[in-house]
Amino acid sequence: MAAVVAVHSYAGGAGKSHLTANVATLLALDGLRVAVVDLDIPAPGLHLLFAIADADMGYCLKDYLMGECEIEDTVREVGAGLGLAAGGALFVVPSSMDGERILDLQQRGYDIALLGAAIRRLVDRFALDVVVLDTHAGTNDESMAAFAVADTVAVVLRPDLQHTRGSQLTVSLARQMGVPRIVMVLNLVAAGVDLAALRARTEEQYRCEVVAVLPDCQEMTALGSGGVFVLLHPSHRLTRCYRDVASRLRG
């Protein structure tokens, strides 16, 4: 059975999209069949990390939600040339950055049940081991649909009051929805912070396991969303942290 992981944060800019792209890539490198889905419909961007050009976007999640294609038509395979272990595969379901289409979908609305149906169909059709859902920050329909279908919700937060306070709401919603496993990922942690104390405090505050504490890295800032970090910096400390997350989420 595939593991479905929803990556969420209460406040924006927590590092969800980078976590999604990097963890999915590491799992595919290990030989798993992995798909990432950009559920951040109002502000998509996951495809940029995988260098999918605007011209190559083709059908996107919105086209499926508007009934204009099948979910299979939106899938891009991006694992070629990455040196995946035998059996590994990496797929992306992008959302388009076409502003008119985003507004059109938001105004017309769509059947939210289509999202869960799409994920189940992707798992079957592509024989997936893992699906990672990148969500929009805060409480919104797509994120709640992701929680409904996920085995695990990974709550990403920065050491910042908006994130720490808001994550209580995220964790509480996930609990109310009966998500089987809720874990926390602390990101953008400054040098010099006592990591063990931060982890213990966070676990006590949310009564959830902290699966990793990720440092604030200049090399990531310099990358500027122009690629998948772990491929460019395989021996970096941040890559080791992403590996810790991947090993805890693989199901």
Ligand X SMILES: Nc1ncnc2c1ncn2[C@@H]1O[C@H](COP(=O)(O)OP(=O)(O)OP(=O)(O)O)[C@@H](O)[C@H]1O
Query: Contact residues for Mg ion (CB under 5 A)?
Result: 16-17
Query: By C-beta, is 43 or 232 nearer to ligand X?
Result: 43
Query: By C-beta, is 18 or 248 nearer to ligand X?
Result: 18
Q: Residue 22 touches which of ligand X, Mg ion, none (CB < 5 to 8 A by kind)?
A: none
For the bound state, the minimum distance from the C-beta of residue 134 to Mg ion, rounded and expressed in Å, comes to 6
Round to whole Å and give the CA distance between 143 and 108: 19
Q: Which of residues 232-251 bind ligand X (CB under 6 A)?
A: 238
Q: List Cβ<8 Å contacts ≥24 apart for 217-226.
A: 220/18, 225/17, 225/18, 225/45, 225/48, 225/49, 226/48
Q: Which of residues 98-157 bind ligand X (CB under 6 A)?
A: 137
Residue 114 CA, chain-centre distance (Å), reads 19
Round to whole Å and give the CA distance between 127 and 147: 21
Judged by DSSP in three states, 5 sits in strand
Query: For the window 151-190, what string marks contact with ligand X as x by the rule CB under 6 A?
Result: ------------------------------------xx--
For the bound state, the minimum distance from the C-beta of residue 142 to ligand X, rounded and expressed in Å, comes to 12
Round to whole Å and give the CA distance between 53 and 59: 13
Give every strand in the sheet of 152-157, ordered side by side: 76-77, 89-93, 33-38, 130-134, 3-8, 152-157, 181-189, 209-215
Q: Residue 230 touches which of Mg ion, ligand X, none (CB < 5 to 8 A by kind)?
A: none
Per-residue burial over 117-146, b if 16 or more Cβ lie within 10 Å, else e, is: ebbeebbeebebbbbbbbbbbeeeebbbbb
Q: Residue 187 touches which of Mg ion, ligand X, none (CB < 5 to 8 A by kind)?
A: ligand X
Binding ligand X (rule: CB under 6 A), the pick from 84, 184, 217, 228 is 217
Round to whole Å and give the CA distance between 156 and 25: 18
In the block, tokens 């105004």 appear at 107
Position 14 contacts ligand X (CB under 6 A): yes
Answer yes or no: are the C-beta atoms of 186 and 199 closer than 8 Å: yes
Query: By C-beta, is 16 or 33 nearer to Mg ion?
Result: 16
Binding ligand X (rule: CB under 6 A), the pick from 214, 228, 245, 246 is 214
Binding ligand X (rule: CB under 6 A), the pick from 3, 5, 15, 166 is 15
Query: By C-beta, is 141 or 216 nearer to ligand X?
Result: 216
Query: By C-beta, is 43 or 103 nearer to ligand X?
Result: 43
In the complex, the residues that contact ligand X under the rule CB under 6 A are 9, 12-18, 40, 43, 137, 187-188, 214, 216-217, 220-221, 225, 238
